[in-house]
Every structure is written in structure tokens, then in C-alpha cells.
Amino acid sequence: MIYESSAIGEIALSLLKTNKAMRVHSIFNNGFNIVNDKNELIFIGTNKNGYFPFGITIDQYTIHHIKETLKVNDTVRLTKNGVNHNDFMLMVNKAELYAYKEVTERADISTIRKVVDDYDFTDYDGGDFNPAKLSSIIDDLADDSADFPLAYLAGRGIGLTPSGDDIITGILYVDKLQPFIAEKHLFALDQYISQTVTTIVSENFIKLALKGIFSTRITAIGNEPSQESADELLELGSSSGRDTLYGIYMTLNRR
């Protein structure tokens, strides 16, 4: 069966051109991930969670039918025109190219803070990510004499993107809008996250975040700060959006 994709991110297109094959890493309701032997990832799925520079967008009908034959660890063959599986072909030659832009220091920080301050995060008070612990981590990130503080968060939690990793993404997003993290700690995170301390999916998200590259659900908070953009971020994954927003909230209130 031949299917068409509607959009493709620049990173995904580059990976199609430079890899002959990848394997299916994980499958879920709205899509699936494929990875190469370097753990570089392409997400193939709907736009429910926004657009990703490493994503290929398909509709719900297509993912429903693809999932009928797809299995974890299946090999897919790649060309610049698409993804080939034994039971289907996904074409990208007619897909709209999603060109990502690196986040820069242009957002209205005070407006973003007002938006996120309207949300209740008291459910984090008694857990691993309580405000006191997170405040200490954020303070240490600005101190180049402090020990690397993000080891506590990286990989902490469950799922394809553990909560600690999503909080890191939120922290990094604020840092791109208003830099405060010491270069020493950014370098340490880049090295640390490559040591199999978390999931492949989280590793890819954090590596891109270090470069200022985020999903559209996250960048919308800075581009158009509003309850609507924050609510849409909350819908990301089972808890990923809320964890990311909490990271943003805590960082803005400590800076």
C-alpha cells in the first residue's frame, strides 16, 4: 500500500537522504519512531502533538492502517522519496517542508510569566520534582562553580520521555529566550545525555533543545503567549506537556 505524508521536517528529510535503513523503535496511538544505529530519530505520525523538525506528518487514517502490520524492531528502507516497509510505502516527495527556526532572545518574558503563573503546579510539591529541589537545580545552573546539577533530572521518571527530561526541556527553552545557564553545564549536559542515561527519544529531544530547536507546541508559548498556547502544550503526551510547562514556570520564577 502506498501512502502520502503531508509535511516533513528538515532534520527528517536529511536523515532520509543519509541513511539506507532504520528500525522501528516504538509505536503508540498517534505515530511511531524509527532510529538509526547512532540513535538519531524520525517521528512519523499525526500533528496532534505539533510539528517536529525530525518529524514526518501523516493523517489518522494512515497511521491506523500502518499500525496493522508494523512491529517494533521492523526494518524500514529509506530513500529521499520516502520510507519503505515490507507492507507499505510512505512517500514524502509531495510533503510540505517544515523549516525550523532556532529559538532566539526575542520573546516577551514578562508576558510568558504571567501566562504560566495562572497554572496550578502544587501536585509537584511532595515528589521528586518539588519546588525546593528544582529551585536549587536552577540556581546551580547559573553557577559555573557548582557541580553539574542536571544529573538528578536526566532520565528520572517513566515513559518515552521521563518527567525529569521534559522539565529539562522546559528549562532549556527559557535559557534560549533569556540565557542564564553556565556554558560549563550546557557542555556537561550534552556529554551526559549521550551516555545512555535516558531513553533514545528523550536524548534526541534534549540534544535538539541544546541547539535551540523545539516542537511547535513549545515555541508557541514564546511566539504567542496565551492561555490557548499553554493549554495546547499541556495536551502534549500523557504528562510531557505539563512537565515541560512546569520546567518553564519554575525557571521563569527563579530568574
Q: Looking at the chain, which runs of residues are DSSP E strands?
A: 2-4, 7-9, 21-28, 31-35, 41-45, 55-57, 75-79, 82-85, 88-91, 96-98
> pLDDT grade, residue 236 (50/70/90)?
confident
Does 70 score more than 70 pLDDT? Answer: yes
Phi, psi of 27 (to 5 degrees): -130, 135
Does 57 score more than 80 pLDDT? Answer: yes
pLDDT digit string, tens, across residues 86-132: 999 999 999 999 887 777 666 789 999 999 999 999 999 999 999 99
Neighbours of 139 (CB within 10 A): 13
Mean of the per-residue pLDDT values for the chain? 93
Q: What is the model's pLDDT at position 186?
A: 98
Does the pTM exceed 0.85?
Answer: yes
